[in-house]
Every structure is written in structure tokens, then in C-alpha cells.
Chains A and B, each alone.
Chain A
Amino acid sequence: MRLKTTLYYLNLAILFNLIIGSAYSFAGPSSTYLSLSEKNKNYWHKLLHIEENSSTSKFDGENFFLAKEGKNHPDLELQATIDAFSEPNKLVGWFQYPVQCVFRERFNFLKEIGLLIGVPETSCPMFEEWKNGLNVNSLTIVFSSSYPNNPSSLFGHTLIRLNQKNKTNDLLDYAVSFSAIPNANDIGIVFAFKGMFGGYRGLVEISKYYTKVNEYSNSESRDLIEYDLNLTPQQVDRFINHVWEIYQTTYADYFFHNENCSSVLADILAVSLDEREGFNKHSRWYFLPVELIKKINNIPELVIKKTLRPSLKKQLEKQLSKLNDQEIFRIKESINSKEIPNDLDKVEMLDGLISYLDYTRYRTKGDFSEEDKALFRKCLIKRSKIKIDSKLYTDYESKNFPEIGHDSKNISTFLSFENNHSQLGFEFKNGYHYLMGRDLGFDPFSQFDFLTGSFLYDKQYNKLNYDHFTIVHLTSLHPYHFYDPQLSWNASVNLNRYYQKDGCELCHQLDLRASGGFTTSVDGPDRLSLFGGFFSEISSHLQKGGRAGPILEVSYLVQLKESVKIGLFSEERFSAIQNFKKDFQNISTIKMNYFPERNKEYKIELKQVSQFGSWNINTRILSLGYGKYF
């Protein structure tokens, strides 16, 4: 009986939906909407956060839509908005303010294009108070570089600073950002899963810029790169009005790849840049912070000034670089003894020690020792008695400005000579940056390679086979310093070739590995690393279906004059499943890449793979390739 009733109501609901749906399709878009010029229609879509070639808003909060079907029907939303503005007492949004006061930019726009003739304007003191409090004169887009030694934040972060009129200090400005609101009880893996595949709401937030400087530049030691925008007062006004609309009404379901801090800010900024069509067009299935930065830099005369706010670590390194070896030695002595020698009174040395302790406090977070706290306090008191200004260094390199980096995707073609047998290869990288890539614009010697695959075409047998497929490969080569004693690491999941001369020429294995170790810089832009870790290979071609055990890796990478990169890699794998002495393998590779320009690279690679259980070379591959980023 209950089932029957349920089915009855279900049928009714379906019927109702069909009627409503067909009624809409018969009626078609409203005449008001159809009468809009193409330019005005585009602007209306921007206000609703509807991407080009779509009719669905990215926002999910119901308060943002005045029509029931407003999320998917901009025409219905237009009509509902016009109707609502005629009802001055209609209260909407989180705080139930008059509708005209909540949707300020919509109101201004519709009034400007003559769709609100005769509609009386409501007074909005709450909006004016908010806007006057922000006191905005201009906008600055701020890019936060990646979190050092953490490729999961390799993409960076963006926010928009609201520069106050007549300001004396950037720190006191406000900043607009779009962030996920995680559940505090979620453990790391749930946090990551929901961030990537949905489960959190993202909100536009406004906070003091100094909280952001503290968080990114100090606490996480990330560079902040500030891009001042050349916008008219009207454009700034539209931006602020629109932020208020969002701020009062809505959220967007957060997705790491395409509804993130940068994509939403780009869409908001598009409202200001109405004459720059295509700004809110997202050309990839993911939208990275660097894309927002490249977009603003590609618009002529939009960015009028770039400023680097160096991370705490960079400031420390700069200070230490100005000291000689003896002075560094004295600082280390003080760190170890927890005392300040009386003669350590040179300002640069004392400032270096203070910066070291400050950086250590942030780096170690809750583990900053009581002895270090006491030393820190002594240093500060001593410093307060020296009436000499600290040197302010401004000679920082701008090599990690994201707009100078290569684009995210890459397509390559290569000639492969495998044991004197030639094949033609094709490779496609979805992103983002790999160890042999050009480092300008990126965290140097880092890797976040995902969804990369290659094919080999064998002309002799007229056969196309897949060569390898990288699901994800992350590497961070972080130089080990006394002031920053961090390990480097490497992790990957691949489908790799199984190189054996046993009639299995193009067989594959699932290869998982994770390793960590020490990295140092020998001289300049280079990295020498020694890693240890574990690997696992799964393949039906292997005895017992797989191998697993320890792995040792040695590598040396050097960047020469920013246009050439050379890498030497050697890894030893020892299977613990069978016999260490009989089941091991060596893979050694020499690579050289040449970058004639930002998005092009020529590649040479020589790889040697030993026979299982022998140091004798089993396979030798020479490949010559050309790749282009886009």
C-alpha cells in the first residue's frame, strides 16, 4: 500500500516536472532577455557566473537566484530580477536586506540599460557603510607561490587586494579571496578527496591583507607577487558591487580543478573587464592560479606594476648571503649555545640570527623550544638597544613570476632508437611541470606531472603501441640547509615499460614508488640528491606477479643559463620478494633539454636498463624529441 502511494506521488512529481519543463520549452526565453544586445547578454551572464557557451551558473547558493530556475535559465532570472526590483520591500539574501540593496550591480546594470524605468530606488545604508569601510581605490591581484617542498600546493593561490584610497600601508588593505570551508573534523584523506571531487562549499571572503601576508609569506614562507591593475573607477566600482552581491547571497561547490580560488576570482574580475571578452572563458578542464595571472598579463596595459613580497625564507637567505663564512659560523655557534656572545653586535649578524629564529619558529610550529624562545627574546632586546636601521634588501630575483613560465599542457614527438630498432613516439602531458622542464616561473627542480602518456609507432610492423602512462609523479628537490633541514622526496604511480629480452618487447607493469632523502646544491642552480625508498611492480610477466623492495636513487640536475637543463639519474631496485642478490635492476639515464623559447623544448635522452639480476645492459634507448607547451 505504502509502495503504491509512493509510486503515485512519484508519477505526479514526474508529470509536474514534465509540464513545467515543456511549458518552459514552449514559451522559450523571455522577450526581455531576447531583446538584450549581445554585449548586454554577455554581461548579464557574467553577473550570474555563467561561462561562455553555457547556460548554467557556477554558483549554488539559492539566495543568488531570484527565479526558481534561475541557476539554469538566465532569461527567467532576468525577468525575476526586474520584477523583484519593483518590490522595494522584498527582503532577500543571508541577512534579509531589501532586494535592490543586495543585488547592487544587477540593479545598476539593468537601470543603465533602461529596464528599470519608473522603478523607485531604495536607500541602502548597510551597503554604503560596507563600501565606505572598504574605501577602495584600485585592485591588485596577488599570487602566492607554492608552499616550499610541498608539490600539492605547486599550483599556488590567488587573491585580490582592495587598495584603499590615500593609504600609507598595504597591510591595512582588505583582500578578497575564494576559499573552501572544510569540515574541521575531516581527516586529511577525506579533506583531500572532498577538495578534489566535491563536498565542500567555497565562499568569497574578505579579510585584512595582513592576515594573508602572515599566512602565506610568514607562516608558509611563500612569495607573494602583487600585480597592480589599471582599472577605471567605474570598473573598480562594478567589482566591489558584484563582490557584495556574492558576499550577501551565495557559495559555490568547491572543486580543486575548476571551481577554485582562481577560477571564481577570474569570473568576478570579468565583470570589471567587460570589454575584454573571453576573460571568463576557461579553456581547459582545470583552471590554475597561473592561468589567471597569465590572463591579466596578456591584456595590454592592464598590469601597471609588479611587486615581489619575498617569503620569510627568501628574506633569511638574502640576509645570510650578505654575511661571510666566519659570520655565519658565529651565528651557528650562537644557535647551538643558545647564547649571544657580547661581541655579536654587528647589526647584519644580529638581524640574521633574528631572522633564523623567526623562520625556525614558523617552520617548527608548536615545537619551537623554550631555549630558542629565550634566545629569541635576548636577541630582540639586544637589537632594540642598537639604534641603527636594518638594511632593506630589494635585489630579489623574479624568476618565479608565473607569467614567464611555460604553459601547462605539452605535446611531444620523438624518435626512439631502442636497441638499434627505431620507432616514432608521441607524448601528451596534461600538466604541469616536470623535473627536466624549464624552471622559469616555477618552483625550481620540482615536479608535478599528471596524466601523461606516450605512444610508439613501429613502422617496420606498422603497429602503434602505448609506451608509458604516468598517473601522477611528484618530486621535490629541496636543498638541505642548517636553517632549513628538510628532506626531499619523490612519489609516482606509472604504467611503465617492462624491459626484458624474453619475447615481451612492449609489455607493461604497474610501477609504484615513494622515496625520500637529502638534496644539496653544489654550485648555483643545481641539485644533487641521494634518495632511499620502496618500489612495487605489478605485472603478469614477472614471477609471482610482481616485485617489491627497496630502491636507491642518485641524481644530479643542473640548469645552464636558463636555456639548457641536464639531468643524470641512476636507480637500483632490489626485490625483497625473491632474492636480493638475484633480483635487482639498474636503470641509468642521461637527459638534456634545450629551451629555445618559453613554450618549446628539444630533448635528448639516453637510457640504459640492466637485465634482472645482472649489471649487464639489457636495453639501451636513445631518443630525440621536440615538445611544445600550450
Chain B
Amino acid sequence: MKMLITMLALLLSTTAFAVDSSSGCGMGWEIAPKQSLVSSSVRALVDATFSSTIAMTLGTSGCAKHSIVKNEMQGIHFAEANMNSLAIEMAKGNGEFVNGFASVFGCQNAKAFGSMVQNQYTSVLPNEKVTGVELYNNVKNAIKNDSLLSQSCNLI
């Protein structure tokens, strides 16, 4: 029996056996205070997508009691969490993540938003080390400077 347990444990020790410890906003921090939005994640890549800034902002405040990320922080959280996908889809000028990003700025015209971020690609993403906060602010400024989007994006 002991051997069985050891073998099973060894075989299953590599990754989650449906143990999902992804970042999220739950009661985890309440029961295990060390498990914040960022620290609860055991997956390095997910960890890497959250900077310390966003962790402090959202880790135990924005998500804590109701898990609803505050509206004003949605864009930053979205940018931070989806940096990889956004970098690709913004280069292509469309895609689900770009459309989602348009939504958090309240842009009804996702196609125009996609074209704008594609045209402004090196401005809004000047290098591969841009953080979510920087990306959010860069795109926000680009919207403000765009005659069409500045009128139609109602959450900037």
C-alpha cells in the first residue's frame, strides 16, 4: 500500500491534478492570507504576467470582498493579464483580446480600435518589456489623440 501511494504520488506530482490554483479573487486570501491574487498562482508564466504594481492594486483590495475588479481598474488588469495575446492581436489589428480591450475602454467600434492600435503599434508597445499599466496608458492616450475613437470610446 505504501508503495502504491508513493508511486501514485510520484506519477502525479508533476502538475495539477485538476487542482486549479490560478490567480483569482476568492476567499483564499481570507483563509490563507498569504494567497493573494499573485502569490496564489503556482504557474510561473501567470505569475510573470502580473507586475507588483497590479498586485498591490488588485491583490487584496479590488478583488478582496466582492471579487469584482473595479471598473476603473479593469483596463489595467486586462492589459496586464493578457499582455501576450494583446501584443500579437494588436499587430494583426483584430482578434478576441483586442475586441475585449476595446470594450474596457468603452469603444463601440472595435474594428476602428483594432486598426488604430495596429497603426500605432510601436508607439503603444515601444518594446517587449512594456507593463500592463504602461500599455493601458499608452492606448488610452492614443485613443484621446484619435479623432474618431476619442468621441466613441466612452470609458476613457
Interface residues of A (CB under 8 A from B): 94-95, 126, 129-130, 133-134, 147, 150, 152-153, 155-157, 159, 168-172, 174, 177, 179-184, 188-189, 191-193, 195-197, 200-201, 203-208, 210-212, 214-215, 218-219, 247-248, 251, 254, 256, 260-262, 289, 351, 354, 358, 361-362, 365-366, 373, 376-377, 379-381, 383-384, 387, 389-390, 471-472, 474, 491, 493, 512
In the bound complex, residues from chain A placing their C-beta under 8 Å from that of B26 are: 203-207, 247
Q: Give the contacting residue for A182; candidates B8, B9, B19, B81; CB below 8 A.
A: B19
Instruction: Tell whether, in the assembled complex, residue A381 and residue B11 are in contact, meaning their CB atoms are under 8 Å apart.
Output: no
In the bound complex, residues from chain B placing their C-beta under 8 Å from that of A188 are: 13-14
In the bound complex, residues from chain A placing their C-beta under 8 Å from that of B115 are: 387
B25 to chain A, nearest CB (A): 6
Instruction: Tell whether, in the assembled complex, residue B118 and residue A387 are in contact, meaning their CB atoms are under 8 Å apart.
Output: yes
Q: Give the contacting residue for A203; candidates B27, B74, B82, B127; CB below 8 A.
A: B27
Instruction: Tell whether, in the assembled complex, residue A289 and residue B91 are in contact, meaning their CB atoms are under 8 Å apart.
Output: no
Instruction: Tell whether, in the assembled complex, residue B103 and residue A192 are in contact, meaning their CB atoms are under 8 Å apart.
Output: no
In the bound complex, residues from chain A placing their C-beta under 8 Å from that of B100 are: 169, 171-172, 210
In the bound complex, residues from chain A placing their C-beta under 8 Å from that of B3 are: 493
Which of B28-36, B134-142, B147-155 is found at the contact surface with chain A?
A: B28-36
B152 to chain A, nearest CB (A): 14
Q: Which of B68-123 contact A (CB under 8 A)?
A: 68-69, 74, 77-78, 81-82, 84-85, 87-88, 90-97, 99-100, 103-104, 110, 115, 118-119, 121-122
Q: Which of B14-44 contact A (CB under 8 A)?
A: 14-28, 30-32, 34-35, 39-40, 42-44
In the bound complex, residues from chain A placing their C-beta under 8 Å from that of B9 are: 189, 192-193, 196
A474–B11 CA distance with the chains assembled, in angstroms: 8
In the bound complex, residues from chain A placing their C-beta under 8 Å from that of B6 are: 189
Q: List 28 A-B contacts (CB under 8 A).
A: A130-B68, A133-B68, A152-B11, A152-B13, A155-B18, A172-B100, A174-B67, A174-B68, A179-B19, A192-B12, A192-B17, A196-B17, A206-B24, A207-B67, A211-B81, A247-B27, A247-B67, A254-B19, A256-B17, A261-B20, A380-B87, A381-B121, A383-B91, A383-B92, A384-B90, A384-B119, A387-B115, A390-B92
Instruction: Tell whether, in the assembled complex, residue B4 and residue A493 are in contact, meaning their CB atoms are under 8 Å apart.
Output: yes
A384–B21 CA distance with the chains assembled, in angstroms: 35
In the bound complex, residues from chain B placing their C-beta under 8 Å from that of A193 are: 5, 9
Interface residues on chain B, size class: 35 or more
In the bound complex, residues from chain A placing their C-beta under 8 Å from that of B78 are: 172, 208, 210
A201–B27 CA distance with the chains assembled, in angstroms: 11
Q: Nearest CB to that of B108 among chain A residues?
A: A168
Q: Is B65 an interface residue (CB 8 A)?
A: yes
In the bound complex, residues from chain B placing their C-beta under 8 Å from that of A289 are: 18
A303–B2 CA distance with the chains assembled, in angstroms: 44
Instruction: Tell whether, in the assembled complex, residue B96 and residue A169 are in contact, meaning their CB atoms are under 8 Å apart.
Output: yes
Instruction: Tell whether, in the assembled complex, residue B42 and residue A184 are in contact, meaning their CB atoms are under 8 Å apart.
Output: yes
Q: Which of A204, A211, A262, A377 has the most CB of B within 10 A?
A: A211
Q: Is B46 an interface residue (CB 8 A)?
A: yes
Give the 3 A-B residue pairs with the shortest CB-CB distance, closest first.
A207-B24, A205-B26, A133-B68
Q: Give the contacting residue for B35; candidates A155, A181, A215, A491; CB below 8 A.
A: A181
A174–B63 CA distance with the chains assembled, in angstroms: 12
In the bound complex, residues from chain B placing their C-beta under 8 Å from that of A254 are: 19
Instruction: Tell whether, in the assembled complex, residue B85 and residue A214 are in contact, meaning their CB atoms are under 8 Å apart.
Output: yes
A95 and B65 in contact (CB under 8 A), knowing A188-B13, A203-B26, A474-B11?
A: yes
A235 to chain B, nearest CB (A): 22
A207–B35 CA distance with the chains assembled, in angstroms: 14
Instruction: Tell whether, in the assembled complex, residue A179 and residue B22 are in contact, meaning their CB atoms are under 8 Å apart.
Output: yes
Q: Give the contacting residue for B69; candidates A95, A169, A195, A208; CB below 8 A.
A: A208
Instruction: Tell whether, in the assembled complex, residue A219 and residue B46 are in contact, meaning their CB atoms are under 8 Å apart.
Output: yes
A181 and B40 in contact (CB under 8 A), knowing A208-B77, A373-B128, A387-B118?
A: yes
Apart from A153-B16, A179-B24, A184-B42, 14 more pairs, CB < 8 Å: A129-B68, A152-B12, A171-B82, A180-B20, A182-B19, A192-B9, A196-B8, A207-B24, A207-B25, A380-B121, A387-B118, A389-B94, A493-B4, A493-B7
Q: Nearest CB to that of B83 among chain A residues?
A: A214
In the bound complex, residues from chain B placing their C-beta under 8 Å from that of A204 are: 26-27
A219 and B45 in contact (CB under 8 A), knowing A205-B28, A381-B121?
A: yes
Instruction: Tell whether, in the assembled complex, residue A207 and residue B11 are in contact, meaning their CB atoms are under 8 Å apart.
Output: no
A593–B124 CA distance with the chains assembled, in angstroms: 57
Count of CB-CB pairs between chains A and B under 8 Å: 225
In the bound complex, residues from chain A placing their C-beta under 8 Å from that of B144 are: none
In the bound complex, residues from chain A placing their C-beta under 8 Å from that of B61 are: none
A219 and B18 in contact (CB under 8 A), knowing A189-B10, A192-B13, A389-B92?
A: no
Interface residues of B (CB under 8 A from A): 3-28, 30-32, 34-35, 39-40, 42-46, 49, 65-69, 74, 77-78, 81-82, 84-85, 87-88, 90-97, 99-100, 103-104, 110, 115, 118-119, 121-122, 125, 127-128
A451 to chain B, nearest CB (A): 10
Instruction: Tell whether, in the assembled complex, residue A152 and residue B17 are in contact, meaning their CB atoms are under 8 Å apart.
Output: yes
A197–B5 CA distance with the chains assembled, in angstroms: 10
In the bound complex, residues from chain A placing their C-beta under 8 Å from that of B119 are: 384
In the bound complex, residues from chain A placing their C-beta under 8 Å from that of B84 are: 214, 218, 358, 361-362
A373–B129 CA distance with the chains assembled, in angstroms: 11
A179 and B20 in contact (CB under 8 A), knowing A189-B9, A192-B12, A247-B26?
A: yes
Q: Which of B10, B27, B77, B103 has the most CB of A within 10 A?
A: B27
In the bound complex, residues from chain B placing their C-beta under 8 Å from that of A365 are: 44-45
In the bound complex, residues from chain A placing their C-beta under 8 Å from that of B85 are: 214, 218
In the bound complex, residues from chain A placing their C-beta under 8 Å from that of B39 are: 184
A358–B82 CA distance with the chains assembled, in angstroms: 13
In the bound complex, residues from chain A placing their C-beta under 8 Å from that of B49 are: 214
Q: Give the contacting residue for A126; candidates B10, B19, B66; CB below 8 A.
A: B66
A381 and B21 in contact (CB under 8 A), knowing A129-B66, A171-B96, A210-B100?
A: no
Q: Nearest CB to that of B37 among chain A residues?
A: A207
A377–B25 CA distance with the chains assembled, in angstroms: 32
B75 to chain A, nearest CB (A): 11
A210 and B81 in contact (CB under 8 A), knowing A94-B27, A196-B17?
A: yes
Instruction: Tell whether, in the assembled complex, residue A215 and residue B19 are in contact, meaning their CB atoms are under 8 Å apart.
Output: no
In the bound complex, residues from chain B placing their C-beta under 8 Å from that of A387 are: 93, 115, 118
A604 to chain B, nearest CB (A): 30
Q: Nearest CB to that of A193 among chain B residues?
A: B9
Q: Give the contacting residue for A94; candidates B30, B74, B104, B128; CB below 8 A.
A: B30
A376–B88 CA distance with the chains assembled, in angstroms: 10
A184 to chain B, nearest CB (A): 7
A247–B6 CA distance with the chains assembled, in angstroms: 34
In the bound complex, residues from chain A placing their C-beta under 8 Å from that of B13 are: 152, 188-189, 191-192
A174–B35 CA distance with the chains assembled, in angstroms: 20
A380 and B88 in contact (CB under 8 A), knowing A95-B65, A203-B31, A208-B77?
A: yes
A71 to chain B, nearest CB (A): 17
